[in-house]
Structure 1
Amino acid sequence: LSNMDNKLDIYRRELVDVQGVPLFWSIAEEWSQVESFESRPDDLLIATYPKSGTTWVSEIVDLIYNNGDAEKCKRDAIYNRVPFMELIVPGMENGIEDLKKMQSPRLVKTHLPVQLLPSSFWKNNCKMVYVARNAKDVAVSYFYFYQMAKLHPEPGTWEEFLGKFMTGKVAFGSWYDHVKGWWEKRKDYRILYLFYEDMKENPKREIQKLLKFLDKNLPEETVNKIIYHSSFDVMKQNPCANYTTVPSFDMDHSVSPFMRKGISGDWKNKFTVAQNEKFEEDYEKKMKGSSLQFRSEI
């Protein structure tokens, strides 16, 4: 088999359930590697449901760790500075192996729902930052991401994809379970729970929360520098942050750029009135009894 044939056969495959959560087939096959991942006590875990500001908060935290030195943060692409722990694709990437080679303190990215996180993170009482974004914007962003990132199955039409999203039949499972699961867990562990909409509205305030959580003191001018270098427009132009360094057979930016709009409320350009009504009704049921509150626009 030529290399290209191999590449074709890893893409657009159906998701595989791991303990009831749909994941990429390659993660499911190597699940034992993920499960037995050894965290270190000084690891910082960045956990999100996909398309919720993962890359954004990763860039902010890396800037904090490097005292606002933007040049240092251009030492490598964001996915190498903050490896995606559970992402394993045979012959292409292995987040677990990448992390093993990294010096401490490590930044670790995960999209796993709380119940699938390797137990060593709880055992080591690692600090964790969780970012949540409103469901409607996530659904739209995820739809475009499915189109361009070919490890996902075909998304189908927007209507079809929205149905899958609502029933949790997408990679990393149900958004509703994900945000609620991590929200509950924050009561017992060192988890800073942030909201994408709050970060958009007032990045300075949210970065201050991060600094406090990480026991870091930075002068005001450094904080302002971090705000500037982590802004959407600057990150979108930064090859170390915008994923354009990923080969196009893997992520096709001509279909949709990885960093598409980075705004709140874009769902209004995609949802029909009927879809929105149906979504809202279903949302009420699924989020009933949770103290979590989201804003679908700012």
Structure 2
Amino acid sequence: MRTYRSDDEDSSRWEGFPFRAGDIVISTRSKSGTTWMQMICALLVHRTPDLPAPLSELSPWLDHLIRPRDEVVAALEAQPFRRVIKTHTPLDGVPVDARATYVVVARHPLDMAVSMYHQSANIDRERLRELTGAGEARVLPPLDEWLPRWVTRDSGYLDSLPGVLAHLTDAWHRRHEPNVVLVHYDDLRADLAGRMAELAARLHLDPPTPDLVEAATFERMRVRATELAPNAQGVLKSPRAFFRRGSSGAGREALGEAGLAAYDRRTRELAAPDLLAWLHR
């Protein structure tokens, strides 16, 4: 396995993880539908909109350094139901166990980047520094300056454009494996009930009832932001702001014609045409 590290994440925490039959691992890039897919899976497992615990407790983030690894693993070991585990690590940095199912959510990289830009302003950097020893304050330029730089920046950082497309390329190559499910964010937006039913079938769970589908909509999740946003340690300034918009197209709106042309050239350097056609459709 490859090892991925950032100021507040360390994928080596997956080493020796005690999998069990039925585990669901959600692997996404930041702001690509992670919490949405956690909610969908939790609803399918627990069969009620009234989840038995906050979402971040039901589906903890194993790589995150704000909690000791042993504490997270012990909490997962104590769960008597099917487990849903969050990671932002690509699958080449996670043990791929035949007993588990791996769900990778893809989002248009420009929409993901805009959402990440706004999320950065919603993080309490002082609190993050208390928990991890990292998390320096950042001064963001205006979005119309930041986004073109993000497109052209040559960086291996996971949330850079090269990092996003490397994550998705790895999942694209694995998409025909029986325990890997690749989901497009915009497919969830277009037909949430249908996509939840397909996912339930892949996970060998009962199909969703209408109340479960309603509970997974962006609007209902935003109303329940305090319960559902990943903020157990108080890292977010505003849980409600975590569910900022949830729609698509903001990235293309923020780039002019020249910026979109640069994005097109850059992505063609970084990923295969069939993946890009699927991702950008």
Question: TM (normalized to structure 1)?
Answer: 0.77
Q: List aligned pairs for 1:251-266, cutoff 5 A.
A: 251-253=236-238, 257-266=241-250
Q: Distance in 1 between matches of 2:206 and 2:246?
A: 28
CA contact (8 A) 2:44 2:206 kept: no
Cross-structure match for 2:227: 240
1:160 Cα deviation from its structure 2 partner: 4.2
Paired AA for residue 276 in structure 1: L
Contact 1:164 1:170 in 2 (8 A): no
Residues 236-277 of structure 1 deviation map (CA, whole Å, 9 limit, x = unaligned): 010221346652xx21229x8111100011213422333222
Aligned mates of 1:130, 1:44 — CA distance in 2: 11
Query: Cα distance 1:192–1:19, how it changes in 2: closer, same or farther (>3 A)?
Result: closer
> Is residue 134 of structure 1 aligned with residue 111 of structure 2?
no
Determine if contact 2:221/2:228 at 8 Å carries over to the other structure. Answer: yes
Q: How does 1:284-295 map to 2 (within 5 A)?
A: 284-294=268-278
Per-residue CA distance 1:152-210 (angstroms, 9 max, x = gap): 55363243465346534544560000011011122334111110001101111101101
Identity %: 18
> Which residue does the alignment assign to 1:231?
217
- Change in Cα spacing, 1:64 to 1:32, as seen in structure 2 (3 Å) is closer
- Give 1:40's aligned residue: 20
- What SS does structure 2 have at the residue aligned with 1:89? coil
Shift of 1:36: 2.4
Structure 1 residues 201 and 179, CA gap change in structure 2 (3 angstroms): same
Tell me, in whole angstroms, the C-alpha distance in 2 between the residues paired with 1:216 and 1:85.
24
Cα distance between partner residues in 2 of 1:92 and 1:187:
31
Q: Does 1:176 align with 2:160?
A: no
Count how many residue pairs are aligned between Structure 1 and Structure 2.
265
CA distance in 1, matches of 2:16, 2:77: 12
Q: Equivalent residues in 2 for 1:1-298 (5 A)?
A: 21=4, 23-28=5-10, 32-67=12-47, 69-71=48-50, 73=51, 75-89=52-66, 95-117=72-94, 119=95, 122-149=96-123, 150=125, 151=128, 154=138, 156-157=140-141, 158=143, 159-160=145-146, 163-164=149-150, 166-171=153-158, 174-218=163-207, 223-238=209-224, 239-243=226-230, 247=234, 250-253=235-238, 257-294=241-278, 296=280
Return closer, same or farther for 1:143/1:81 CA change in 2, 3 Å cut-off.
same
What TM-score, normalized to structure 2?
Answer: 0.82
Residues 61, 92 of structure 1: CA spacing in aligned structure 2 closer, same or farther, 3 A cutoff?
closer
- Displacement of 1:61 after TM fit? 1.2
Q: Which moved more, 1:226-235 or 1:146-155?
A: 146-155
Q: Could you tell me how far apart the structure 2 residues matched to 1:172 and 1:271 are?
A: 18
CA distance in 2, matches of 1:202, 1:78: 23
Paired residue type of 2:88: H
More helix, by proportion: 2
C-alpha distance in 2 between matches for 1:77 and 1:257? 18
Unmatched runs of 5 consecutive residues or more in structure 2: 129-134
SS in 1 for 2:9: helix
Match of 1:15 in 2: none
Larger displacement relative to structure 2 (162-171 or 190-199)? 162-171
CA distance in 2, matches of 1:213, 1:87: 27
Q: 1:257 is paired with a residue of what secondary structure?
A: helix
- The 1:168/1:78 distance shift into structure 2, 3 A limit, reads farther
